[in-house]
Amino acid sequence: MSLKLYDLALADPDLRPSPFCWMVKFALLHKELEFETIPVGFADKSQYPDPEYGRVPVIVDGGETVKDSAAIAAWLDRKYPDNPLAATDGEAAAAEFYRAWVFASFFPAIAPMLVARIHALAAEEDKSYFRKSREERFGKTIEELAATTGQKEKVEASLQVLSAPLGRYRFLGGHKPNLCDYTVMGSFMWPRLSAAEDLYEAPQPVAAWMERMLDLFDGYARKAKRPS
Ligand SMILES: N[C@@H](CCC(=O)N[C@@H](CS)C(=O)NCC(=O)O)C(=O)O
């Protein structure tokens, strides 16, 4: 199998919660491309295809290396035009909107609920790197982040906006899923695969859509391992 996706793994290499890697996994499945995932930890950047970049997802397809989830999605549509992820400029613009919503609204609400959980699940050799990098990013200790109150309510408020499109359409892409769905559902895989229990309650149309997304591609996302 020539197409490789470098994917972030925790101490248990089957635990793969990265939201950006999930967006790419959905995109590859949508394209019906065969791929293998290569697990990497947080700290040892020599395992990454581009150690200086030091992030995943990165895909290596034959001689080509592509990094950054949004760039990978655009590259996939150029290289494999069948079954587009974003069929029109309008769909691409809508996907940009949902990506911006994830960064502006969903991630800030959910991240404090996840950092300590991911730290606990990370490999021993990744823990000090993870702590240092996240404490620098958030300007708080992991313990302070974990003690933040009101985050569940913030997450649930952030999800309300999705009830508008999902109350009317089966998918954010309309009658079938597209890059908008994969961008948002990729971000929802982060809490799903970082905690044994569900951390928030989604409004009904959003919860029903999540179930549909978990069922896609023969239940690929539903089968992904959760912490016990
Ligand atoms: N803008 C990038 C962000 C990639 C990113 O931040 N990936 C995280 C995993 S979710 C990462 O590689 N973290 C490694 C680290 O924290 O050193 C994308 O969309 O792909």
Region for 77 from its dihedrals, namely left if φ exceeds 0, alpha if ψ lies in -120 to 50, beta otherwise: alpha
d(CA 70, CA 94): 13
Other CB atoms closer than 10 Å to residue 18's CB: what's the count? 24
Query: 1 falls in which pLDDT band (50, 70, 90)?
Result: low
pLDDT in tens, 148-184: 999 999 999 999 999 999 999 999 999 999 999 999 9
Query: 2 falls in which pLDDT band (50, 70, 90)?
Result: confident
Summary mean pLDDT of the chain: 98
Output the ligand 1 site: residues, CB below 6 A: 8, 18-20, 42, 54-57, 68-70, 133
Cα torsion 157, 159, 165, 171 to 10°: value is -170
> Torsions phi, psi of 77, nearest 5?
-70, -30
d(CA 84, CA 182): 13
Fold of 89-219: Glutathione S-transferase Yfyf (Class Pi); Chain A, domain 2 (1.20.1050)
Using the mean position of ligand 1's atoms as its centre, give its distance from the Cα of residue 22 in Å. Answer: 11
- Residue identifier of the C-alpha nearest atom 3 of ligand 1: 68
Domain extent listing, the chain? 3-79, 89-219
- CATH number for the segment(s) 3-79: 3.40.30.10
Choose one of 56, 125, 127 to mutate for the ligand 1 pocket test, by most ligand atoms within 8 angstroms of C-beta. 56
- State the alpha helices, DSSP H only, in the chain: 19-30, 69-79, 89-101, 107-121, 124-138, 142-146, 151-159, 163-168, 179-192, 204-219
List Cα–Cα distances, 187 to 64, 75, 98, 191, in angstroms: 26, 20, 10, 8
pLDDT computed for residue 162 by the predictor? 98
Look at residue 68 and tell me whether its pLDDT is greater than 70. yes
Look at residue 228 and tell me whether its pLDDT is greater than 80. yes
Whether pTM > 0.85 for this model: the answer is yes
Choose one of 53, 55, 66, 72 to mutate for the ligand 1 pocket test, by most ligand atoms within 8 angstroms of C-beta. 55
Using the mean position of ligand 1's atoms as its centre, give its distance from the Cα of residue 68 in Å. Answer: 8
pLDDT in tens, 25-39: 999 999 999 999 999
Sequence-distant (≥ 6) Cβ neighbours of residue 170 within 8 angstroms:
176, 209, 212
Query: 198 falls in which pLDDT band (50, 70, 90)?
Result: very high
110-114 average pLDDT score: 98
46-59 average pLDDT score: 97
d(CA 146, CA 2): 41
On whether the CB atoms of residues 13 and 26 are closer than 8 A, the answer is no
pLDDT in tens, 118-138: 999 999 999 999 999 999 999
Q: At what angle are helices 69-79 and 179-192 packed, to 10 degrees?
A: 140
pLDDT computed for residue 157 by the predictor? 98
